[in-house]
Amino acid sequence: MDAIHDDTCPSFEGTLELIGRRWTGSVLQAAVQGARRFGEYRALISGVSDRLLSQRLKELEAAGLIERTVIPTTPVQIRYQLAPDGQDLVDALRPLAQWNMRRGARPRGAGRVPAA
């Protein structure tokens, strides 16, 4: 496994902070499930406010993980989809999600290191 070097660490920390924000994982999952319009994201993500959903979509777009397309119809349509880097991120997160599911299947406290 490659080591994390001092010059790449801040970038990696920024990525972890972005994907660790509330609702980011849900937005990415909704995109994987086929959401394209704002209302579709909202319908797939239970409990997210319009303001927070809009904020997360903008952050993911700015990070190059979501692509936003404006379709000049009446009314204007806005579509969102995973960018290639967003799909790569989702693919990279799948082993982490599988690891989490395996841990969740264990009895509570199993495999944990006791506190010193």
77 pLDDT tier (thresholds 50, 70, 90): very high
Cα–Cα distances (Å) from 89 to 34, 38, 76, in that order, read 16, 21, 29
**Mean of pLDDT values over 97-106:** 86
CATH class of 9-105: mainly alpha
Contact 37, 69 (CB under 8 A): no
In angstroms, the CA 67 to CA 84 distance is: 9
Distance separating alpha carbons of residues 77 and 79, to the nearest angstrom: 7
Distance CA 85, CA 16 (A): 15
Closest CA to 48 of 25, 19, 78: 25
What is the average pLDDT score of the chain? 88
Phi, psi of 82 (to 5 degrees): -65, 135
The per-residue pLDDT for range 6-62, each reduced to its tens digit, is: 666 777 888 889 889 999 999 999 999 999 999 999 999 999 999 999 999 999 999
Higher per-residue pLDDT: 4 or 66: 66
Per-domain boundaries in the chain: 9-105
The whole-number pLDDT of residue 5 equals: 63
Can you give the pTM of this predicted structure? 0.78
Q: What is the C-alpha separation between 26 and 47, in angstroms, rounded?
A: 11
Nearest to 25 by CA among 94, 103, 99: 94
Please check the confidence at residue 113 and state whether its pLDDT lies above 60: no
- At residue 85 the predicted structure's pLDDT band, cuts being 50, 70 and 90, is very high
Are 38 and 75 spatial neighbours (Cβ–Cβ below 8 Å)?
A: no
